Amino acid sequence: MNQNLKDFYFFSDFLNRRVYNPSGQVVGRISDLVAERAEPYPMIIGLVARARRRRKRFYLPWDKIVRIEPELILSEDEQRALQASVPERDIILLQEEVMDKQIVDTFGAKVVRVNDLHFLRIDTHLRLVHVDVGFRGLMRRVGLEGVMDRILRWLFSYDLPNQFISWKYVQLLSGSDLLRLSVSQKGLSHLHPADLADIIEDLSGRDRSAIFHALDTETAAEALEEIDPKIQKALIETIPVEKASDIVEEMSPSDAADLLADLPEERAEEILEGMEEEKAEDLRELLIHPEETAGGLMTTAYLSLTPDVTVEAAMARLKAEAPHLDIVDYLYVIDEEQVLLGVVSIRDLLTAHSHQTLSEIQAPRVVSVKLEEHQDEVVEAFAKYGFRAIPVVDEGNHLKGVISFRSVLEVLAPDAG
């Protein structure tokens, strides 16, 4: 199975799809997927198909499928063994045992229905990682997901979100039409969207590496920011330095600096040398500062503008750069020498007239911290003033970075994730 594969698939991607032999003839349609019971995420080991003419069902081991995109094609050997039965080992027939089942919580309260299943690809195999209980899953299953998206975007500029529950929280009840959550209904809101980082942390070291190698650069960067630092370090050391550079370049500067600080100095420098020069220099500056100081907590992904910029122009810049910023609650007003002059909150920006300049609406009294201030003093500043971010300056009041409230939470509760 050497073709280009997606990172994620849904059960609805396979149900009722035609199965072809190597000559291009249809031998049947998929009626079910077979998963091996395994914790925490079952692996797909085969599929059940219904023969085209005889209406008989037959089992196809996953490793006998040579291609799944754009068509699903069997190997020549498996074509001669279409009467093979489903293995007798501990398995789950996903269509029969999971799809359309109601999910109840630990107290038996009915919660939601399974509309689709979400798989993560590891090498050429799939693992069941989520149940989809949302309306999007139902629309995908009946083939109307694209139509629904176009209508909602046209009428309301709205994207309907996925509603996933991690499979590790779902328990099969033998001989029942129900599935059970291993947490109470009150905890349901904390389970979705089930984070890719949680999946990676739950798997073995080998599977973690396989997943990480398969992810695209942006997805890998987003996941890496949420993963336990020890696992971060192990993952980034398993990939080629070129890909590592690309991934670190996509990460938040503060998270990237924390990761590089945990790596051997030689490996960190190799990654930096493979990055764009400007981003590498930003990270080198962050790495200079000890982790327990304001300089070690700050990020350089914020927006700073000169005082003569209009509100309209500032909004346009913010909209364009927001996907790459760690700080979006405030804009910082600086002069040509990078001296901090003031700060503008998003609320002030939204309520100002478009023709006004930032100098007219900025708060001139700015609370800031020095580069070398200890993290305990930074925490006190956040507690005292209640800001969502605080700028960091040097002795000459030049703006060097900004500390987000999230970074302070990581100081206060480092094990909270």
Query: What single-letter amino acid sits at 116?
Result: D
Mean of pLDDT values over 181-199: 48
Largest CA distance in the chain: 83
Residue 190 pLDDT > 80? no
CATH classification of 202-288 is 1.25.60.10, yes or no?
yes
Query: Does 333 or 288 have the greater pLDDT score?
Result: 333
With respect to CATH, is domain 304-412 assigned 3.10.580.10? yes
pLDDT at 324 over 80: yes
pLDDT score, position 362: 93
Q: Give the mean model confidence (pLDDT) for residues 359-385.
A: 91
Residue 244, token pair as written in the block = 């590592």
Provide the Cα torsion 104, 105, 108, 109; round to 10°: -80
In this prediction, residue 360 has a pLDDT band, given cuts at 50, 70 and 90, of very high
Residues of the chain with pLDDT > 70, as a percent, come to 84
* Cβ neighbours of 412 (radius 10 Å): 11
8-94 matches 97-197 in fold: yes
**CATH code linked to domain 97-197:** 2.30.30.240
Provide the pLDDT for residue 189: 37
End-to-end distance of the chain based on CA atoms, in angstroms? 36
Where in the chain are the domains?
8-94, 97-197, 202-288, 304-412
Strand partners, 20: 26, 73
- What confidence tens digit (pLDDT) does each residue in 70-85 have? 888 888 765 555 555 7
Topology classification of domain 8-94? SH3 type barrels. (2.30.30)
Average pLDDT over residues 227-253: 88
Cβ pair 286, 314 in contact under 8 A: no
pLDDT at 171 over 90: no
Given a cut of 50, whether residue 119 has pLDDT beyond it is yes
What per-residue confidence (pLDDT) applies to 186?
44
